[in-house]
Chains A and B, each alone.
Chain A
Amino acid sequence: MCLAVPGRVVEIAERDGTRMAVVDFGGVVKDVCLEYLPDLAVGEYAIVHVGFALQRLDEESARRTLALFAELGLLQEEFGDPWEAAADAGPRGEAKP
């Protein structure tokens, strides 16, 4: 369940006693309820699902994850990469335009 998308808080305001934010999703802007992340600040990113911010995104751990992925790639380069040729051939012959 799971169509939850990262967005950046642009603006915060109370509306009808509810904490709401304007959130930017890469050029698409929507109103989002902040009641579950009341201390989320302008400029921060959160996972948003059906108009609710559900969890703050942690930049530090995102960077660590990406660094790990990059490291795995480098490791492989050292040993040569048998995958590349196979990937270029496509999973099935016919699939190559």
Chain B
Amino acid sequence: MRYLEEFSDPALARGLLDDIRAAVTRPWALMEVCGGQTHTIIRHGIDQLLPEGIELIHGPGCPVCVTPLEIIDKALEIAARPGVIFCSFGDMLRVPGSDRDLFRVRSEGGDVRVVYSPLDALRIARENPDREVVFFGIGFETTAPPNAMTVHQARRHGIRNFSMLVSHVRVPPAIEAVMTSPDCRVQGFLAAGHVCSVMGVDEYPELAARHRVPIVVTGFEPLDILEGIRRTVRQLERGEHTVDNAYPRAVRPEGNPAARAMLADVFEVTDRAWRGIGTIPRSGWRLSPRYREQDAEHRFDVAGISTREPERCRSGEVLQGLLKPNQCEAFGGECTPRTPLGATMVSSEGACAAYYLYRRLGAPATPQEATPVV
């Protein structure tokens, strides 16, 4: 068992698809929350295989894409300072701020480095004691524990030249925000499996009950996605709305207690703006006051930078399935994958970016609208 190829075997997809097809009696709109799941869906063309009537509304994309413009601008400002080594996950480098991105800062002389792990940034800080090393700590609940551990270790080992620019986001408040929107079309959620690997599932039953919406914890391989859809559709057809775990090999009800304890120590919950969507109450984490020394916003005094999200961006409506991307006035002109306004165009899997790419194919403007196999 390698837990990988076994779950992307096309031969096994057939039974799952047939079972979904047998269950569906009417149209349903499901949202996959996580950009990683959207990636799998587009990468393998899974949405084209689903029966007609099953609509997948792509969720807020990845946390990289929802990172608010203001934080990106702060990152760009810090990264451009002399003496700073600015470390980031690779996908953050291309995300544009108000007038440039990290690539451009690098071309202008900034020392911007791609790392695989936040611990790599901490190592760079150890190796360069005369430089300020800043790590761009973004991500959902999955990435927050590695970042929390890194901040914790920096303090424990007294690595004074290390700090972190933190902009973490949390999934449950995002689900809440989608569901409380007056015109919400989402009828079921595929919850992000790896978020639940860390956090467990105890935040979800209350959401599922209050909004009468099934929430199925779903993995990331193609068969996992199909199984998540299958279980969600089965619940919808039966009129149920419970929390179900379709990814039990990696998700325990309690999550990872050690990681949750570290999160509680290092971070505190805060309101957070989502790019192109707006502020969602209590949807983020920031460093707790105990870690003020490690907080790059504090150390580099960038609190004065404030950037408003562009009003022209309607990605919030796109995310809720209320608006097709090409119905937005900015689409394709002002807003393109090269010059994105909001999260859904920043991410290559975002609904707007996918629309932009696929419309060149001709008749079926998006994968969702492609003629289903059956």
Contacts and interface: CB of A to CB of B under 8 A. Distances in A.
B198 A55 contact: yes
A33 interface: yes
Interface in A53-83: 54-55, 57-59, 61-66, 69-76, 81-83
A16 B150 CA distance: 13
B223 interface: yes
Interface in B46-72: 48-49, 62-63
Contacts of A10: none
A62 B15 CA distance: 17
B15 A55 contact: no
Tell me the interface secondary structure of chain A in the complex.
mixed
A37 B256 contact: yes
Interface stretch (B135-143, B180-188, B293-301): B135-143
B370 A69 contact: no
B194 to A, nearest CB: 5
B29 interface: no
A86 B149 contact: no
B3 A57 contact: yes
B127 to A, nearest CB: 13
B152 to A, nearest CB: 9
Contacts of A76: 14-15, 18-19
Contact of B18 (A59, A62, A70, A83): A83
Interface of A: 1-6, 8, 16, 18, 26, 30, 33, 35-38, 45, 47, 49-52, 54-55, 57-59, 61-66, 69-76, 81-84, 86-87, 91-92
B18 A2 contact: no
Most chain A CB neighbours (cut-off 10 Å) among B6, B193, B194, B195: B194
A49 B4 CA distance: 15
* 8 smallest beta-carbon distances between A and B, as pairs: A2-B36, A51-B117, A73-B15, A72-B15, A1-B140, A6-B3, A55-B197, A62-B249
Interface in B148-192: 149, 153, 157, 192
Nearest to B169: A1
Contacts of A83: 14, 17-18, 21, 373-374
B93 to A, nearest CB: 15
Interface string B199-223: 0000000000000000000001001
Contact of B12 (A70, A87, A92): A70
Contacts of A33: 117, 119, 146, 149
